[in-house]
Amino acid sequence: MACRGRRPEHSGPPEVFYNKNEAGKYMRNSRMIDIQTKMAERALELLSLPEGQPCYLLDVGCGSGLSGDYLSDEGHYWVGIDISPDMLDAALDRDTEGDLLLGDMGQGIPFKPGSFDGCISISAVQWLCNANKKSDVPARRLYCFFSSLYSALARGARAVLQLYPENSEQLELITAQATKAGFTGGVVVDYPNSAKAKKFYLCLFSGPSSIVPKGLNECTDGGEERESTFTNERAPYRTARRRVVRKSRDWVLEKKERRRRQGKEVRPDTQYTGRKRKPRF
């Protein structure tokens, strides 16, 4: 875990930290783009949505729209909410397909009950654990967020929130407020033995308790996968999603077919579909 001085949350409020300069990094830095996209892919996998069915999703802390772009590529519709105007401006510059809303998740999610089929969030929830003003009470802001999110989700829907907890106490605070708001679920830990690749995903269920997915593990010699849960159910988890190489011909054809099912105008398939173009002079 990063030391205190290096954590973005300790640099000030998120709307100040994520300024134009920081937003530009999310548009130009290929490493940051790749990491955000992979975490969005994993979050969507953990949502376990119906195969081949477009869903209406919420992206909390959507930033410059990188995670939303992945949702669009997978055929889903989405709404993003973020507290940083500069990050949302970057999302508009990138022509993201989702609807964007400026808002503070610590003050609640302003949507009608049952609006969404699922929710993802990448690297945002831990910001609620810091008090940037005297009036900010982390436990209260977390509960406001989780209770309004619980209401905004359709019954039985999931929320998968990738986060960087500072310590075990902070993680307990977050999960306690989620439970208080009505959620069940648990924490999925991917690559627990890796200092760089380790990722935490809070997998929440609105409605009846369900099986908490297993975390990924880089070990292939029988090393244990880890997850913590605040339900009593544990069982192996298998994903039915077929892995297709991003930007390959099969990936392009699947994306075009999804858009046709959505009633969108799509160019006909040819022998050149998905073929890489030669660089221009």
Pairing of the two strands 56-60 and 116-122: parallel
Residue matched to tokens 């001085």: 5
Top pLDDT among 50 and 240 is at 50
Q: How crowded is the C-beta side of 173, counted as CA atoms within 13 Å?
A: 18
What is the secondary structure of 105-124 as a DSSP string?
Answer: GGG---S-TT-EEEEEEES-
* Residue 237 reports pLDDT greater than 50: no
Structural domains of the chain ordered from first start: 4-241 (3.40.50.150), 243-281 (no CATH)
Q: What integer pLDDT is reported at residue 238 of this predicted model?
A: 31
Which of 35-39, 180-184, 195-199, 259-263 is predicted least confidently?
259-263
Does residue 234 surpass a pLDDT of 80? no
pLDDT tens digits along 111-167: 999 999 999 999 999 999 988 887 889 999 999 999 999 999 999 999 999 999 999
What tokens appear for 122 in the block?
């990448």
What pTM, to 2 d.p., does this model score?
Answer: 0.76
Question: What's the mean pLDDT when you consider all of the chain?
Answer: 84
For the ranges 160-164, 227-231, 236-240, 267-271, the one whose mean pLDDT is highest: 160-164
How far is residue 148's CA from residue 53's CA, in Å, rounded to a whole number?
Answer: 25
Q: Please, are residues 59 and 36 in contact by the beta-carbon 8 Å criterion?
A: no
pLDDT score for 151 = 97
Q: Tell me the percentage of the chain whose pLDDT exceeds 90.
A: 57
Cβ contact 224:187 at 8 Å: no
Give the tens place of pLDDT for each residue, 243-269: 556 667 777 787 777 666 656 677 888
Question: Which pLDDT score, from 0 to 100, does residue 243 have?
Answer: 53
> Distance (Å, rounded) from C-alpha 104 to C-alpha 110?
10
Is the separation of the CB atoms in 230 and 183 below 8 Å? no
Compute the average pLDDT of residues 68-76: 95
Contact 83, 128 (CB under 8 A): no
Q: Output the pLDDT for position 3.
A: 38
Fill in the amino acid letter for 56. Answer: Y
